[in-house]
Amino acid sequence: MPRVTANGIELYYEDIGEGIPLVLQAHHHITWMPFQVPYFSQFYRVITFDRRGTGRSDAPAGDWTNEDFADDLAGLLDALEIDKAIVAGASLGGVIACQFGISYPERALALVIGHTTPYFREESKLWVDDQIKIIEDGGRPIFFQPPSFPWQEHGPPTQRPGFADSELGQYLGTLDAGLGSTKTSAIQALRAIREWDCRPAAAQMAEWKMPCLVLVGGNESQKTQTLSYEWHKMIKDSEFIILPNTHHGAARENPITWNQMVHEFLRRNDLGGGDGGASLGSQA
């Protein structure tokens, strides 16, 4: 079975394709399986895994930190005997990608930091507290993004209105890709991301040598967009892309454009992963 012990816990993973290692991560591995793995495995050795607390991976007791998530990823690479990899992520996965660059800069061939922010504002921390209360009450969390302004009741939806009712959205709704395998593990993850703030590492990030791409959706909240741009300016020579007509769940909602922008970024930095397979440029 595709399980390894990493950083003292058991992680479930998938390993598909060959070539330069590309790690796609956020929560459950299944998030990436419909759209990203089939495409990128034509060019790369694609690795995706269940983050601690999701899917088939362990959910250790106690408080978790974003450093723990990065250490888990490093332990997974160690177990697979991979020295360096491209690390890409969305939402909490974007936080983990950045933290991996902070904790293990020598092991990152490139970073794709998607659909999150470099720190959580006080308003965003209150939003996290609200999501935890929703989970405790048995509801669905993260239906809306954090508001950008005090006069807003809530931010934009996390995915395009009506998408869940489409044939594709209904299919994706049958896949288990949640924030946690239990209420407790979902809350543990939210408490970790609530404390996210990469600004103390700004001087280190300014000296990074690996290529970095910061991605945000054009229909994400105004503060997510402006803070993502601030993040991009913190990282010397990084690239910044706003994906038009996409929400927080861009990799699922608009996978052709998401895959195209990420792959073109890697190609520009001599990490194209070979010339085999299809070209998204002719499909978008």
**Per-residue pLDDT tens digits for 85-133:** 999 999 999 999 999 999 999 999 999 999 999 999 999 999 999 999 9
- Using CA atoms, how far residue 146 sits from 62, 159, 242, in Å, is 26, 13, 18
**Per-residue pLDDT tens digits for 159-168:** 999 999 999 9
Q: Strand pairing partners for 22?
A: 46, 86
Rounded distance, CA 156 to CA 115, Å? 13
Q: Give the structural domain span for 206.
A: 3-282
For the chain, what is the mean pLDDT? Answer: 94
250 close to 215: Cβ distance less than 8 angstroms: yes
Whole-structure pTM value: 0.95
Place of tokens 């012990």: 5
CATH number, position 138: 3.40.50.1820
**Per-residue pLDDT tens digits for 63-72:** 999 999 999 9
* Residue-by-residue DSSP string for 65-108: -HHHHHHHHHHHHHHTT-S-EEEEEETHHHHHHHHHHHH-GGGE
